[in-house]
Amino acid sequence: MSMVAEQRELRDDALNGLQLSTRLENIWRTPSGFFGALASVDHKVVGRRYIVTAFAFLLLGGLLAVLMRVQLAGPENTFLSADKYNQIFTMHGSTMMFLFAVPVMEAFAVYLVPLMVGTRNIAFPRLNAFSYWMFLFGGCFLWISFMLNVGPDVGWFAYVPLSSLQYTPTKRPDVWAQMITFTEVAALAVAVEIVVTVFKQRAPGMTLDRIPLFVWAMLVTSFLVMFAMPSIMVASTSLILDRLVNTRFYDSSSGGHPLLWQHLFWFFGHPEVYIIFIPGTGMVSAILATFTRRPVVGYPVVILSLIATGFLSFGLWVHHMFVTGLPQLGAGLFTASSMLIAVPSGLQIFCWLATLWDGRPVYRTPLLFVIGFIVIFVIGGLSGVMVASVPIDTQVHDTYFVVAHFHYVLIGGAVFPLIGAVYYWFPKIAGRMLSERLGLWHFWLAFVGFNVAFFPMHILGLIGMPRRVYTYTADMDWAHLNLLSSAGAAIFALSFALLLVNVIYSLRSGALAGDNPWDASTLEWATTSPPPPQNFDRIPIVKHRDPLWFHNESLPVVAGLSVERREVLLTSLAEAEPQIREASPDPSIWPLLTAIATTVFFIGSIFTPWAVLWGTPPMAVALIGWFWPTGSKEDEE
């Protein structure tokens, strides 16, 4: 039976050149037209949408930050009311953490990981499409609520009992809690896809020790997502239950406890920092190798550091709770465990420095952002060691010192590498180079603006300024530093405007990129820019950690995949030996319909528990449509 099927089917070893490309393009392309676009399951299309949407949320979150800096620029400013300010800082934090930082990193992974491991599409491509729609709908839900003056106002951490029905009897905390559900569903879906793609779809020969460092970083991140996010989903769902159907998870008068919320929140919240930071380190490693013209020093050290960081990140959450009255010895142990994470982070920094020492740096914009990253992130890491100390934390906790610290870590550790990554991979995604001249301006404005905006906050915290205050009086001596900080914020915001200009300008008239403009070593540069729908005409064989540097002329390839239907090659977990050919799903509108049904269910259920009843049938219908068996050739065999 199988012999017969194989004889009938056309394989890629029977075709060559343009004929092969055209055939593959036809079966892998996204259908044309509006509905075709909505049905797309191409990881590049979904990844691009994900990236653009996440950057749109960055823009919105950034605008909120500017509004806050205007308000705080002078004492007793009346630019924003207390109510507006509280909504805005909550929206800023929630947008940046849930709608920008985590999704944008996953977005880059969705676009890049399949290319970097040499496969044709991500694992579970329809789930991927569903994930994007859920992210988009969740983000819009939060922002539309904000526009309707139902924006959450209890902080991005939504501590109970402030966020309980008794103290916030509006719908605002429900909007926040349900936005969490949306984004977590989206994030978990991508995490599963990345893990499976990396484990099962690597090009033949890409053994575990030949996986690019960025892919390793995203693999570790995906595991963190899978273990950390359930905690916050449990927390936010319990909060909604407390608020909607009078459960008492957090009510201390009925045997619940407010600190339960804090433990659940930070058991997610601390790994969250590494979910954002570890992809940044992957980007740094990728950029450094290309622009120092040599592989990163200590490949196994970097990977083990990533894994160690991942494990340690689950043992630190209590350092967010040092002033909640914990037993002193217990708190002291969390000081030590928190500081311990400096070791794997330090090892990575040392490896990168060694790479720079030996390499011959080519100072293009991506490398500038990586150098800026090292300078800024090390400050953030060191101030992190300070706040890990219980006695120091009792002073700086919930002050502007901590605001400074985590912006140094998150902007320094994740956004600088990310912007570097934008300059680095934009040519691959768009087919055109970003302007280097604007890039240079962008870097210096960002670097100076960032430091002027955030360094003074360290001092502000030490001289007594708490976080989340919408105003302060003139006699507190905070006015000058706040004004300076606001000026820095303006410069920093301007630098992002330059990026926007650069992207718009370069999309139209940037220099054409070619396949591999930076002479980089990883597989995504082995295909055209932008890549064709099938990514690669033939799946490459990997014989070296830096395949494009190792094979100067052309990559060895495998043949034998179908050219009549979507097919990917599955390989073994450790050695990446070819195992089977596996069908990859066609475009489908059902993920979108499922996402719409889920959205109705989620939003309905913050208003009435009955939404759980009437919201499920549409979801069931959508899922049945999604998984309706269509008898693929594979199954017939």
Partner 1 sequence: MPVRMRTALVPSATLPLAACAGRQSALDPQGLQSDQILRTFFIFLIVAAVVWIAVVIALCVGMLRQKRAADQPLALHRSFERTSGRIVFVLGLATLVIVLGLSIVSYAGQRTVFAKDENALTLKIIGHQWWWEVRYEDGSPDKNFVTANEIRIPTGQPVKVELESADVIHSFWVPSLTGKMDLITGQKNELQFTAKNAGTYRGQCAEFCGHQHAHMAFAVLALSPDEFDRWRDHENQGASSPTDPLGKQGEQLFRARGCALCHTIRGTLAGGQLGPDLTHVGSRTTVAAGTLPMSPATLAAWIADPQHIKPGNFMPRTPLQSDELIAILHYLEQLK
Which residues ranging from 502 to 541 are in contact with partner 1 (CB under 8 A)? Answer: 521
Residues between 165 and 194 that touch partner 1 (CB under 8 A): 167-168
Angle at 146 between CA 142 and CA 148, to 5 degrees: 120
Total number of residues shown for the chain: 637
| Distance (Å) of CA 82 to CA 65, 71, 95, 154, 452 | 15, 10, 19, 12, 26
Nearest residue (CB) to partner 1, 485 versus 502: 485
Beta bridge partners of 569: 581
3-state SS assignment for residue 580: strand
Nearest residue (CB) to partner 1, 131 versus 389: 389
Site size toward partner 1 (CB under 8 A) is 89
Residues between 223 and 252 that touch partner 1 (CB under 8 A): 252
Nearest residue (CB) to partner 1, 209 versus 358: 358
In order, the DSSP letters of 510-541 are SPB--S-TT---SGGGGS-SSPPTTS-SS-B-
Nearest residue (CB) to partner 1, 53 versus 86: 86
CB of 412 to partner 1, least distance (A): 12
| Distance (Å) of CA 54 to CA 50, 99, 136, 141, 385 | 6, 6, 9, 15, 30
Q: Give the interface segment with partner 1, choosing from 368-376, 532-540, 560-568, 581-589 (CB under 8 A).
A: 368-376
| Distance (Å) of CA 634 to CA 124, 201, 567, 575 | 16, 18, 10, 25
CB of 472 to partner 1, least distance (A): 7
Whether residue 435 contacts residue 506, with contact meaning beta carbons closer than 8 Å, is answered with: yes
Nearest residue (CB) to partner 1, 463 versus 487: 463
CB of 417 to partner 1, least distance (A): 15
How far apart, in whole angstroms, are the C-alpha atoms of residue 395 and residue 119? 52
* Residues in Cβ contact with 614 at an 8 Å cutoff, skipping those fewer than 6 apart: 604
Determine which residue in the list 339, 430, 501, 611 makes contact with partner 1, applying CB under 8 A: 339
- The token pair that represents 473 in the structure block: 């009086």
Residue 390 found at the interface with partner 1 (CB under 8 A): yes
Q: Give the interface segment with partner 1, choosing from 219-227, 323-331, 487-495, 613-621 (CB under 8 A).
A: 323-331
Q: Give the interface segment with partner 1, choosing from 48-56, 121-129, 326-334, 531-539 (CB under 8 A).
A: 326-334
Residues between 248 and 287 that touch partner 1 (CB under 8 A): 252-253, 257-259
Nearest residue (CB) to partner 1, 379 versus 411: 379
In one-letter notation, the amino acid at residue 44 is K
CB of 22 to partner 1, least distance (A): 34
Torsion sign (Cα): 242, 247, 253, 256: negative
Residue 579 found at the interface with partner 1 (CB under 8 A): no
Letters for 16-55 (x = contact with partner 1 by CB under 8 A, - = none) are: ----------------------------------------
Residue 202 found at the interface with partner 1 (CB under 8 A): no
Determine which residue in the list 14, 37, 52, 323 makes contact with partner 1, applying CB under 8 A: 323
Letters for 124-163 (x = contact with partner 1 by CB under 8 A, - = none) are: ------------------------------xx---x-xx-
How far apart, in whole angstroms, are the C-alpha atoms of residue 342 and residue 316? 12
How far apart, in whole angstroms, are the C-alpha atoms of residue 439 and residue 445? 10
Residue 362 found at the interface with partner 1 (CB under 8 A): yes
Beta bridge partners of 11: 562
Nearest residue (CB) to partner 1, 130 versus 373: 373
Q: How many C-beta neighbours within 10 Å does residue 253 have?
A: 7
* Residues in Cβ contact with 613 at an 8 Å cutoff, skipping those fewer than 6 apart: none
Nearest residue (CB) to partner 1, 247 versus 395: 395
How far apart, in whole angstroms, are the C-alpha atoms of residue 463 and residue 447? 25
How far apart, in whole angstroms, are the C-alpha atoms of residue 137 and residue 46? 14
- The token pair that represents 357 in the structure block: 């020492």
In order, the DSSP letters of 351-392 are HHHHHHHHS-----HHHHHHHHHHHHHHHHHHHHHHHHSHHH
CB of 40 to partner 1, least distance (A): 36
Residue 330 found at the interface with partner 1 (CB under 8 A): no
- The token pair that represents 198 in the structure block: 């990396």
Residue 391 found at the interface with partner 1 (CB under 8 A): yes
Burial of 400: CB neighbours in 10 Å, binned 0-12, 13-18, 19+:
buried
Residues between 442 and 481 that touch partner 1 (CB under 8 A): 462-464, 466-476
Nearest residue (CB) to partner 1, 203 versus 297: 297
Residues between 340 and 359 that touch partner 1 (CB under 8 A): 340, 342-343, 346-347, 349-351, 353-354, 356-359
Residue owning tokens 């994030």: 187
Residues between 71 and 100 that touch partner 1 (CB under 8 A): 76, 81-83, 86
Q: Give the interface segment with partner 1, choosing from 48-56, 327-335, 510-518, 613-621 (CB under 8 A).
A: 327-335
Determine which residue in the list 34, 360, 628, 630 makes contact with partner 1, applying CB under 8 A: 360
CB of 508 to partner 1, least distance (A): 31
Beta bridge partners of 637: none
Whether residue 568 contacts residue 582, with contact meaning beta carbons closer than 8 Å, is answered with: yes
CB of 378 to partner 1, least distance (A): 5
CB of 30 to partner 1, least distance (A): 36
Q: Give the interface segment with partner 1, choosing from 185-193, 223-231, 296-304, 609-617 (CB under 8 A).
A: 296-304
Letters for 606-625 (x = contact with partner 1 by CB under 8 A, - = none) are: --------------------
Whether residue 224 contacts residue 275, with contact meaning beta carbons closer than 8 Å, is answered with: yes
Residues between 298 and 317 that touch partner 1 (CB under 8 A): 298, 301
- The token pair that represents 368 in the structure block: 């500038």
CB of 398 to partner 1, least distance (A): 4
